[in-house]
Amino acid sequence: MTVDGVVGSGSMSAAPMPAPETAPAAAPRGRHPIVTVLLSPILPSTWMAVFSILIGFIVLVAAFAVVTSLFSAGGGLLILIVGFGLVALGIEAARLTARVERWRMSLTDDRPLIARPYKTLDPEPQAPFERRIRNWAEAEFFDPSRWLDVAYVLISFPLIVLEFTFSVVLWSVAVGFTLAPIGYLLTRDMPNIHWYTGAFTPGAVVSVLFVIGLILLPITAMVTRGFALGHRSVVEGMLCISPAEALRRDNDRLRGSRAATVELEANELRRIERDLHDGAQQRLVMLAIDLALAEGKIDANPAEAKTLVAGAREQARQALGEIRDVVRGTAPAILLDRGLVAALGAVAGRSSVPTYIDSGLDPNERLPHAVERAAYYVVTEALTNVAKHANATRVDITLRREPHRLGVWVRNDGKGGAAVTTGGGLAGLRDRVEALDGKLVLDSPAGGPTMVHVELPLAAWAG
C-alpha cells in the first residue's frame, strides 16, 4: 500500500489525491426505442426501405418473367443445342439478379455482403473447341452457386409481391387517414360531394380517422423496415456466405499458403545444399588437393608443379561457374534484367522439345518480381517434365494478363497421365504458386494432351 505524504517525527499526513484535469466524456446514449418508433415515418432508413422494396418489386418481377421464360423455352428445345443456350441465359439472368439484389440490400443495411464463390469460365486460350464447350458446361450447369441464384429468383418473386402489396396498402391507408382533415376541408363546400358519417358528425369522423392514421404511420414504417430486413436475411442465406465462413476460408487459405511457403523455402535450401555439395564443394576439394601437391613439388619438380597449378586454376574456374549457376537458379539474370517474356523466350530456345510462345504481354512489360519468378519456374519445370516423361512433339506456352491476375498455360501433346505427387516437381510448383495465393490446375488424361494452368494474383505483390 502506498500513501503519498510527508513523514514527520512520529506522524504522517496524507496529501489529497489530485483531481483529474478532464473528466471522461459520457458515452453517447442511443435513442429510446419508443422515440425511434414514433420518429420512424420520417427517418431516412424507413424511406430507404420503401425505395428498396420498390426497386426489388421491379427487378424481381422482371427477373422472374425472364428466367421462367428462358427455362421454359430452353426446356422445350433441349433436344436441340439451342435449348442449352437458352437455359444458360436464364441461369446468367438469375446471376445478374443476385448481384443487383446484393446491392439492393445495402440500401437498408450497410453491412457488407460476401457473394458465394462461382465457378469461373477460364478455358485454355488455345484449347480445342470440345474442351471449351466442356469447360463452359461445367462452369454453367454444375455450379451450386448459380443454381442457388435461380432458386432465389423463384422463391423471392412471391415474397416481393407480398411485401410490395402489404406496403402499398398500409402506406395508402395510413397516409389517407392522416390526410383526412385536409380532404374534408377541401371538399366540404363542394355541392356534389357529401360525407356519409351516419349518426356521427363529419368532424368527429375525420378526427378519429386522423388519430388512426397517426397511429398507423409508425406501425407502417416499422413493418416496411421489417420487410426489408427480412428480405435481407433471405439474401444472406441464399446468395451470400457469412462473415464467419469467409474468415474461416481466408484463414484456411492463409494457413495453406504459409505451409506452402515454408515447404518451398525448405526445398530451395535443400536444392542449394545439394548443388553446392555435389558440385562446387567437390571442385574446391580437388582445388585444395592440387595446390597441396603443387606446393610439395614446387622445388623438386617445377614443371609438374606448374601443371598442378594450372589444373587448380581450372578447378577454381569450374567451381565459380557452378556457384554462379546455383545463385542464378534462384533468379536467372535474364529474368531480372529483361523480364518474363525474354526469359521464357530463352527457355523455349533451349528446350529439347519444339516450344512455341503465345504472349499477351508486351515484350518489355514488367510484372511484380515474385509473380515473374513463379511464372518462370512453372514453365521451366513443366518443360523439364515434358522432356523427361511426356514423349511430346510440341509444347505451347500461353501468357495472358488480366487486370488483377496473370494466367499461364503450358500444353503438350504427349502421352498424358501426369499427376501431382508428394515430393514431385509438380507438387513443388503447386507450393510455389499457392505461396503467392495463386492456383495451379493440372489436366492430364491418359493419352494426352497435358495442360498445366496457373493463375497468379498481381495486385497483392505489386510492391
CA separation, residue 461 to residues 119, 374, 438 (Å): 24, 12, 11
**Confidence class of residue 268 from pLDDT cuts 50, 70 and 90?**
low
Out of 39-53, 106-120, 337-351, 415-429, which region has the weakest mean confidence (pLDDT)? 415-429
Phi, psi of 456 (to 5 degrees): -125, 125
Q: 48 with 32: CB under 8 angstroms?
A: no
Q: Can you tell me the mean pLDDT for 214-223?
A: 88
pLDDT in tens, 330-385: 556 777 778 888 888 888 888 888 888 888 887 778 888 888 888 888 888 888 88
> What's the pLDDT at 10?
38
Place of cell 496473370: 406
Within 13 Å and on the Cβ side, how many CA atoms surround 58?
A: 7
CA gap 436, 460 in Å, rounded: 9
Helix (H) or strand (E) holding 69: helix 44-76
Determine the average pLDDT of the residues in 40-52. 83
User: Three-class SS of residue 444?
Assistant: coil
Residue 72 cell numbers, joined: 421454359
Residue 136 CA to residue 227 CA, distance in Å, equals: 38
**Separation between Cα atoms, residue 61 and residue 325, nearest integer Å:** 67
What is the C-alpha to C-alpha distance for residues 448 and 418, in angstroms, rounded to an integer?
9
CA distance 25 to 36: 24
> What are the phi and psi torsion angles at 222 (to 5°)?
-70, -40
* Closest listed residue to residue 438, CA positions, set 407, 409, 462, 411: 407
Rounded to an integer, what distance in angstroms lies between the CA atom of residue 361 and that of residue 115? 31
pLDDT band, very low/low/confident/very high, at 192 (cuts 50, 70, 90)? low
Helix extents (H) in 106-242: 129-141, 144-178, 180-187, 202-239
Domains, the chain, in order of start with CATH, read 31-241 (no CATH), 246-330 (1.20.5), 337-461 (3.30.565.10)
CB atoms inside a 10 Å sphere around CB 207: 15
Residue 22 pLDDT: 42
Please tell me what DSSP assigns to residue 361: S
Nearest to 167 by CA among 155, 175, 179, 178: 175
* 1-29 per-position pLDDT tens digit: 333 433 333 333 344 444 444 444 443 45
Query: Which residue carries 418473386 as its cell?
Result: 157
CA distances from 193 to 173, 183, 204, 207, 256 (A): 21, 11, 18, 19, 78
Q: Residues 166, 223: contact at Cβ < 8 Å?
A: yes
Q: What is the pLDDT of residue 17?
A: 43
pTM of the model: 0.59
Residue 192: φ, ψ to 5°? -90, -5
According to the model, what pLDDT value does residue 6 have? 35
